[in-house]
Amino acid sequence: QGTRVGFYSSSCPRVESIVRSTVQSHFRSDPTVAPGLLRMHFHDCFVQGCDASILIAGSNTERTAGPNLLLRGYEVIDDAKTQLESTCPGVVSCADILALAARDSVVVTGGANWAVPTGRRDGTISRASDAANLPGFRDTVDVQKQKFLDKNLNTQDLVTLVGGHTIGTSACQFFSYRLYNFTSTGGPDPSISPAFVSQLQALCPQNGDGSRRIDLDTGSGSRFDTSYFANLRDGRGILESDQRLWTDASTKTFVERYLGIRGLLGLTFNVEFGRSMVKMSNIEVKTGTAGEIRKVCSRIN
Ligand code: HEM
Ligand SMILES: [Ca+2]
Ligand SMILES: [Ca+2]
């Protein structure tokens, strides 16, 4: 019924090494593909389940929806798929390639490995309007929790998975409103550390280039580590939704546990991240005879 580790062990035994070497070689020439692929997998799983619906090209597909416009790494999936179609034609789903590539992206940036269950099949529906239920950067913690709970992900999964922001960047357009006249107060968002506000204002000037990108984890944007949580503690979160994880008591305790704060039962980010990713990558999966195995990841057969 569900997915399982080693689903392709006899039908396509080289699948994992092909995906891994493809991610590695693209990463060497363009390190931004790693955060790109991790985020793409998240955006896939939250809309129609982990079924590669995000990869379908065309008018009014998910790809064209606002929250997906800046996704990157499509070429990595296409490259892996081309190789897999010559090695084991018609066998490996695009949804599995994306799930494996997301794991490999964490590993190339220094995170711990985990076993990815496979056996997903590709969906045949992709609608821009469905992207509306993705979490938003202005969402309160209650809304973030609800959106994750709708996918059977609890508060620990929320904090852990948003910890994916330990790598990658955000365009200024998603947070510069926090730096100037925040909610008409005239000043910046008071939850940002004052010293950090001036740094961010220099990087994202008012009425400047909203497409300019800055690290979501200041000082450690290319390493998969717990520095992101320390930044939240220090009022150095970039997105409003991120900084709120430290303001709300129910999410703050998980941030503290990742930071090893005394008196709390510690949690190891690397270990928990793999666990929560396995849960996320099993959201509403299609298996067995549901869906299809796409021949080309950007279009249904
Ligand atoms: C409340 C939930 C979340 C919100 C509101 C959110 C929002 C955002 C936003 C606004 C960006 C900047 C996009 C851009 O400028 O291109 C971003 C980037 C990113 N997000 Fe999230 N995110 C959330 C959860 C997650 C989760 C669960 C993951 C993965 C497990 C993730 C992985 C990433 C990564 C890796 C980037 C960097 C992308 C890049 O550098 O291209 N996010 N997120
Ligand atoms: Ca999907
Ligand atoms: Ca980091």
Mutate to test the pocket of ligand 1, among 154, 165, 175 (most ligand atoms within 8 A of CB): 165
pTM above 0.80, yes or no: yes
Angle between helices 155-162 and 249-258 (to 10 degrees): 60
What DSSP character marks residue 177? G
Ligand 1 close to Cβ of residue 144 (< 6 A): yes
Ligand 1 close to Cβ of residue 106 (< 6 A): no
The CA distance from 223 to 239, in Å, is 19
Ligand 1 close to Cβ of residue 168 (< 6 A): yes
pLDDT by residue, tens only, the chain of 301 residues: 699 999 999 999 999 999 999 999 999 999 999 999 999 999 999 999 999 999 999 999 999 999 999 999 999 999 999 999 999 999 999 999 999 999 999 999 999 999 999 999 999 999 999 999 999 999 999 999 999 999 999 999 999 999 999 999 999 999 999 999 898 888 999 999 999 999 999 999 999 999 999 999 999 999 999 999 999 999 999 999 999 999 999 999 999 999 998 777 889 999 999 999 999 999 999 999 999 999 999 999 9
Active site residue 43: yes
Ligand 1 close to Cβ of residue 123 (< 6 A): no
Q: Give me the interface pTM, i.e. the ipTM.
A: 0.99
Question: Which atom of ligand 1 lies closest to the CA of 277?
Answer: 30
What domains are defined for the chain?
A: 15-134 (1.10.520.10), 141-276 (1.10.420.10)
| Ligand approaching nearest to the C-alpha of 172 | 1
What residues does 169 pair with on adjacent strands?
215
Going by C-alpha positions, the residue among 154, 164, 176 that lies closest to residue 239 is: 176
Burial of 266 from C-beta contacts in 10 A (0-12 / 13-18 / 19+): exposed
- 37 to 74, 193, 213, 229: CA distances (angstroms): 8, 30, 17, 21
Q: How far apart are the first and last CA of the chain?
A: 23
What residues does 224 pair with on adjacent strands?
none
